[in-house]
Amino acid sequence: MKDLITAEEVKTRIEGMIAPAIVDVRDAEELEGGFIEGSIHIPMAELEAKITEVLPNKQREVILYCARGRRSAMAMEMLDNMGYTNVKSMVGGYEEYKNTL
């Protein structure tokens, strides 16, 4: 299994301008509760079809998140199977990320 990343580490990377691609795999209606600024929204159901168009560089660091971490962990496996080599799933999802603000 690929690496997991904490919400605090995600916040630090964003602030440090390390420039990972941050992908929100939640459904559109879930965005009403907030999202990570600068993240790319690709719902889980559309991820496999759209990810290579949005992020063609399979070596770029990609951080996935959802509401609590379950879907992003599944998405991480999907991207791993598609040949992405630097993918992480944010532990606790957006719910945990909000606690770092």
* Model pLDDT for residues 55-69, shown as the tens digit of each residue: 999 988 999 999 999
Active-site hit among 66, 75, 76, 87: 66
pLDDT at 9: 81
For 15-38, letters b (16+ CB in 10 Å) and e give eeeeebbbbbbbeeebeeeebbee
Yes or no: say if 63 and 38 are a contact pair by the CB < 8 Å rule.
no
Yes or no: say if 61 and 88 are a contact pair by the CB < 8 Å rule.
yes
* Model pLDDT for residues 67-92, shown as the tens digit of each residue: 999 999 999 999 999 999 999 999 99
Residue 48 scores a pLDDT above 70: yes
Cβ neighbours around 72 below 10 Å, total: 28
pLDDT at 101: 77
The yes-or-no answer on residue 27 being catalytic is no
Please state the domain count of the chain. Answer: 1
Using CA atoms, how far apart are residues 9 and 14, in angstroms rounded to an integer?
9
Q: For residue 47, give its domain range.
A: 4-98
- The enclosing domain of 26 has a CATH number of 3.40.250.10
Residue 10 scores a pLDDT above 90: no
